[in-house]
Copies of this chain bind each other. A is one copy, B any other.
Amino acid sequence: MRWDALAKEDCSLARTLAVIGDRWTLMILRDAFLRVRRFEDFEASLKIARRVLSERLALLVEHGILAKVPYQERPLRHEYRLTEKGLELYPALLALVHWGDKHYAGKNGPPVLHRHLECGHEFRSVMTCSECRKPVAARDVAAIRASRSRSRRA
């Protein structure tokens, strides 16, 4: 299957990955969440090829995940900021980070901790059920194909 054919799969994960599922895009988003905003700062932080960076930023803007906003005129300069849609990726990113913390942290422990501003504590993210509010693990979930369409998977 081709990369761009993923977007046409009837599967929300495939469609998500068609947009953000390459290795650089997720690293760009990590930086964006850490408040990196300018082309050159992304480049320096990631050591990414400029060509790839400009292509990925353009794709993220096209999808409304980042917004390109001018921060000065004369000379015109832009920065890339997360939109609401982009901010909504945070749970996914944080879940990946916490998985990495658990399984691949070096001897100093995780390099970055996360503080919940509301309660003031360092925390891990816990996936819970939107209906009963209890924590949910993989074994607690059944995937159900939506019936009315010819859908095939999640």
Interface residues of A (CB under 8 A from B): 1, 3, 6, 10-17, 19, 21-23, 26-27, 30, 33-34, 46-48, 82, 85, 87-106, 108-119, 121-134, 136-146, 148-149, 151-154
Contact = CB atoms under 8 A, between A and B. Distances in A.
Nearest to A154: B112
Given A118-B140, A128-B128, 14 more contacts: A13-B93, A17-B23, A17-B27, A34-B154, A87-B137, A92-B96, A94-B141, A95-B127, A108-B151, A111-B145, A111-B146, A117-B141, A118-B132, A121-B132
B108 A99 contact: no
A1 B47 CA distance: 5
A114 B143 contact: yes
A146 to B, nearest CB: 6
A111 B13 CA distance: 10
B13 A153 contact: no
Contacts of A111: 10-12, 145-146, 149, 151-154
9 A-B pairs with least C-beta separation: A112-B154, A12-B100, A111-B151, A16-B100, A90-B138, A119-B132, A92-B95, A108-B149, A121-B131
